[in-house]
Amino acid sequence: MQGISTKQTEVFREIERLKIDIAALTETKRKGNGIEEGKNYIQIYSGVSKDQRAKCGVSLLIKKKYKNV
C-alpha cells in the first residue's frame, strides 16, 4: 500500500464491499499512533514517530458494531 492517507477511501470502500468486519493493514506509512472513527469503522494505527520519515506502520480497521462488545 502506498500510504494510508492516499488510499484510505479506496481501502474502506473495498472492505465495505467485501463485508469485512475486522481488517489488518501493513505498510501504512503513518506517523504517530492513535484512534480515528470513520462512518462505519474505527481505525487503530501505529507508525513511526512524528520526527521520522514515514516508512512503515500498521492499522486495524474494526467495524463499529464491535465497539462496546
Kindly report the pTM of this predicted structure.
Answer: 0.76
Count the domains in the chain.
Answer: 1
Q: Cβ(29)–Cβ(56) under 8 Å?
A: yes
Helix (H) or strand (E) segment spanning residue 36: strand 33-37
- 44-60 burial by CB neighbour count: b if 16+ within 10 A, else e? ebebbeeeeebeebbbe
pLDDT exceeds 60 at position 2: no
Distance between CA 39 and CA 61 in Å, rounded? 12
Distance between CA 3 and CA 57 in Å, rounded? 9
Residue 34: give the domain boundaries: 4-66
Please name which of 27, 23, 2, 28 lies closest in space to residue 13, comparing C-alpha atoms. 23
Rounded mean pLDDT, 60-68: 90
pLDDT recorded at residue 39:
85
